[in-house]
Structure 1
Amino acid sequence: MPIIHLKKLEEIRQALNLKFFERENEVEGILVALLSRQHMLMIGPAGTAKSALSAELAKIVQGTEYFQWLLTRFSTPEELFGPLSLKDLEKGVYKRNTLTKLPEANLVFLDEIFKANSAILNSLLTLLNERLFYNDGKPVKVPLLSIIGASNEYPEEGEGLEALFDRFLLRFELDYIANEKNFVSMLKGTGQNQILPSMTMEELVQLQLITDTVTIPDEVYETLGEIRKELRDEGIRPSDRRFKQSLSVLQAKALINQRQVVKVYDLVILENALWETVDQREAVSAIIRKHSQDVVTQVLSSIKNEANDIFYAIQQDQSPEAGMEATKKIKALVADLKNLKRNNQNRKAEINVLLDKVTSMEREILDTILEPWHFDSQHEKWGTTSTFFKM
């Protein structure tokens, strides 16, 4: 496995999390969609960074052809698929010039996706599902990797958009920033001027191929069967196709977490995939979490989220006082992980992965972010280089 590509993947995730506050799930989701070649839908009010996140990802993946469009009920096929070629029309050939339009793109963002009218819908469905565009009646294979759809609201029943909604395997619901500190940081533009990491299209394709080779053990398949049975007992019946497509999502999630084997706890991402209607979301989430998260997994997830919060906070406030507070909190998390490992030797390898990451965060806070200040662990004091050596 090319470690350098996986390292880039983690750098990209961290950079996007620093730039977009309280969007960790969506950042992971959009990377998973890209690696698994699936489509993702974001539902939420205007001004929740739906288009910004997609556009930023397109900049990060260098060499990608990106297409973005806002749909209205008056949108025409020409806007998305290109105008008819007048030269060909004179010869009686009904052919579109698709240059710079959706059929030529690798990554697509369609805002207000449910405003798609019947003139656009059929071509869009074929593109989403089969990666084909019919031009002059002939199917043309398109280079599409993922379509990221966005809407301020869910489609209403009876609008004929059920098939379009079903084409989006991953669905995330967004809201405005909840945390006051994050809100203030957003107003200040914290993280907006950072130099973002980049990845070439060739590197992305390699990562997609590696994603396809990630192993799914029998335990995961069996748990999926249990989830399917319990969902059916609740009257929730995701299609066999949706379950099959979900496997690639699990493989991508494992790879993003630097693993070549899917774990049962990776199944939690399917709470964004296995529901059919909005009123099923909570029931689906509860069932999937019951089967995918034991106590150790929940503790690890909590520690991981807290460590990320501490690390992101210190990027915004690099004062010695903030550094001391951050270091104490990180040290406490390291202690919690070591204690967890002592009591769960059968999960040692899994716990060590997070322990290494949190320890690395601690070192980065001490050695890089807080220079030239140093923390004297023996006396639990902060000082400059000169005072540190006098202690």
Structure 2
Amino acid sequence: MIFTAHHKLEEIRQALNFKFLERENEVEGILVALLSRQHMLMIGPAGTAKSALSSELSKIIEGTSYFQWLLTKFSTPEEVFGPLSLKDLEQGIYKRITKTKMPEANIVFLDEIFKANSAILNSLLTLINERLFYNNGLPDRVPLMSVIGASNEYPEEEEGLEALFDRFLLRFEINPIVDEKNFISMLKAEGEVMHMPCMTMEELMHLQFLTDKVVIPDEVYKALSKIRVGLRDEGIHPSDRRFKQSLSILQAKALINQRQVVQVDDIKILENVLWEKVDQKEVVSHVIRNNAHDVLTQTLYSLQNEADEVFYSILHDQSPEAAMEATQKMKDLVADLNKLKSHHSSREADIDVLLNKVTLMQHEILNRILEPSYLDNLEEKRWSTSIFFKM
């Protein structure tokens, strides 16, 4: 079940990337939003596939209840939440018929969301944040997973939409297609997928369950703390709630990459989470990238480079002295990797990949230096071959 769900998720991501050119970040964002049950905002000019990308979800997730609406300043609560029940109204009961409307949807797309007027705003805020809809004064729990909002522009400060803007944990700016080859492919509809992969609601909920189980190691928490301090030094203060909610984003990011443990470099996705105002985006991005370096990954990368250098050096210098040195270096690298495993149990699988590679290199070097021609060379120089077995 786990393999099947992961496989389908990857198929869906690839198909969406094929269909929506230059939208890789947004595709990942929308899948992250679904897995983490968070909300996502797309801001950009008209005609940049915001609504098309979102509505594709209703086809991909079989059995989902999907609601889509274009908001204007004249939109009424009836359009979004459902009309009042006339039968109940005759008895003095102020109750809406919510069938096919937002309170009964799993996935919602609201276009031009910042056009929402005060008559809609309060109910919208509660529904998005608390997953509650007050009908006749009583709170009803709604099945909402994610709201995907879209707008051609950012809200003005004096419009009083700060709370609505804050409800969207993920925020992406979308621009028109840049690459001319991609533009031509879009015109030719070369990205059309004959059979879009899909998954059931049951499979999606299972993936959401797996997302909640993804492990967040201490190094990630420490990196987030450093980011918080760095942003505070720049006068930027994301709320504690936003930081807390961002953990689910990191878990979903890891799961999409078929990992059960969050890595420090996953934090880079928070460039779309931790800014409050548009003019803060560049600073937030800089602070996050400075602290999103995965020390272990960098260490493994350095050890791999060292192993490659040792291995290829023996191909060019096959002297007994070089063989002894290469053998000892490989032995030291294996010891370093085993030591890393003892200190990073949550990343054991990542370390084992390199450990296996280094071990194969080590055996290859031994095989080379134990070839008869090589042994003859060693005998001539009066070197004992036994030294190469002290591994």
Query: Shorter-chain TM-score: what band?
Result: 0.7 to 0.9
Aligned to 1:253: 253
Distance 2:159 2:114 in 1: 9
Residues 212 and 295 from structure 1, CA distance in 2 versus in 1: closer, same or farther, beyond 3 angstroms? closer
Q: How many residues align?
A: 317
Aligned to 2:24: 24
Aligned to 2:153: 153
1:151-300 maps to which residues of 2 (within 5 A)?
Answer: 151-293=151-293
Deviating above 2 A after TM superposition, structure 1's stretches of 4 or more consecutive aligned residues are 293-298, 338-354
Aligned to 2:319: none
Residues 293 and 187 from structure 1, CA distance in 2 versus in 1: closer, same or farther, beyond 3 angstroms? farther
Local SS of the residue matching 2:157: coil
How far did residue 211 of structure 1 move?
0.4
Local SS of the residue matching 2:158: coil
Structure 2 counterpart of 1:229, one-letter code: V
Residues 17 and 348 from structure 1, CA distance in 2 versus in 1: closer, same or farther, beyond 3 angstroms? farther
CA contact (8 A) 2:40 2:147 kept: yes
Local SS of the residue matching 1:194: coil
Residues 31 and 19 from structure 1, CA distance in 2 versus in 1: closer, same or farther, beyond 3 angstroms? same
Aligned to 1:74: 74
Distance 1:233 1:158 in 2: 27
- 1:213-249: CA deviations, max 9, x gaps? 0000000001000000000000000000000000000
How far did residue 193 of structure 1 move?
3.7
Structure 1 counterpart of 2:267, one-letter code: L
Aligned to 2:115: 115
Query: Does structure 1 residue 135 correspond to structure 2 residue 135?
Result: yes
Instruction: Give unpaired runs (5+ residues) of structure 1.
Output: 301-337, 355-391
Aligned to 2:38: 38
CA contact (8 A) 2:264 2:294 kept: no
How far did residue 194 of structure 1 move?
2.5
Distance 1:213 1:95 in 2: 39
How far did residue 58 of structure 1 move?
1.6
Query: How well do the aligned residues superpose, as a CA RMSD in angstroms?
Result: 2.4
Distance 1:168 1:125 in 2: 11
Structure 2 counterpart of 1:177, one-letter code: I
CA contact (8 A) 1:12 1:198 kept: yes
How far did residue 191 of structure 1 move?
2.0
Aligned to 1:362: none
Local SS of the residue matching 2:5: helix
User: TM-score with structure 1 length normalisation?
Assistant: 0.77
CA contact (8 A) 2:15 2:193 kept: no
Structure 1 counterpart of 2:212, one-letter code: D
Aligned to 1:320: none
Share of identical aligned residues, percent?
74
Local SS of the residue matching 1:147: strand
- 1:290-312: CA deviations, max 9, x gaps? 111469979x9xxxxxxxxxxxx
Q: Quick check: 191-200 or 88-97, which moved more?
A: 191-200
How far did residue 349 of structure 1 move?
5.7
Distance 1:165 1:342 in 2: 49
Local SS of the residue matching 2:17: helix
Local SS of the residue matching 2:110: strand
How far did residue 57 of structure 1 move?
1.5
Larger Rg: 2
CA contact (8 A) 1:267 1:292 kept: yes
- 1:87-117: CA deviations, max 9, x gaps? 0000110000000000010000000000000
1:330-341 maps to which residues of 2 (within 5 A)?
Answer: none
Local SS of the residue matching 2:196: coil
CA contact (8 A) 2:271 2:281 kept: yes
Distance 1:341 1:49 in 2: 46
User: TM-score with structure 2 length normalisation?
Assistant: 0.77
